[in-house]
Amino acid sequence: MALSVLFVCTGNSCRSAMAEGMLREMIPGDHRDSVEVRSAGTANLEGMPATDHAISVALRHSVDISAHRSSGLTRLALDQADVVLVMTEIHRELVVELDPAVADRTFLLSDYADGSDVDVPDPIGGPVEEYEAVFATLDGYLRSLLPKLLERVGKA
Sheet holding 83-86, edge to edge: 35-41, 3-9, 83-86, 106-108
User: Which residues on adjacent β-strands are paired with residue 106?
Assistant: 84
Classified as helix, coil or strand, 135 is: helix
**What are the structural domain ranges in the chain?**
3-155
CATH code for residues 3-155? 3.40.50.2300
Give the pLDDT score at 127. Answer: 98
| Cα–chain center distance at 44 | 15
d(CA 58, CA 25): 11
Q: How confident is the model at residue 154 (pLDDT cuts 50, 70, 90)?
A: confident
pLDDT in tens, 67-104: 999 999 999 999 999 999 999 999 999 999 999 999 99
Nearby residues of 139 by Cβ (< 8 Å), 6 or more positions away: 22, 61
Give the pLDDT score at 135. Answer: 98
- Residues known to be catalytic: 9, 15, 122
In one-letter notation, the amino acid at residue 143 is R
pLDDT in tens, 29-64: 989 999 999 999 999 889 999 999 999 999 999 999
Give the pLDDT score at 68. Answer: 98
d(CA 7, CA 86): 6
In one-letter notation, the amino acid at residue 94 is L
Give the pLDDT score at 155. Answer: 63
Handedness of CA 107, 113, 116, 119 (dihedral sign): negative
Give the pLDDT score at 90. Answer: 98
d(CA 64, CA 150): 22
pLDDT in tens, 100-134: 999 999 999 999 999 999 999 999 999 999 999 99
> What's this model's pTM, rounded to 2 decimal places?
0.96
d(CA 100, CA 26): 30
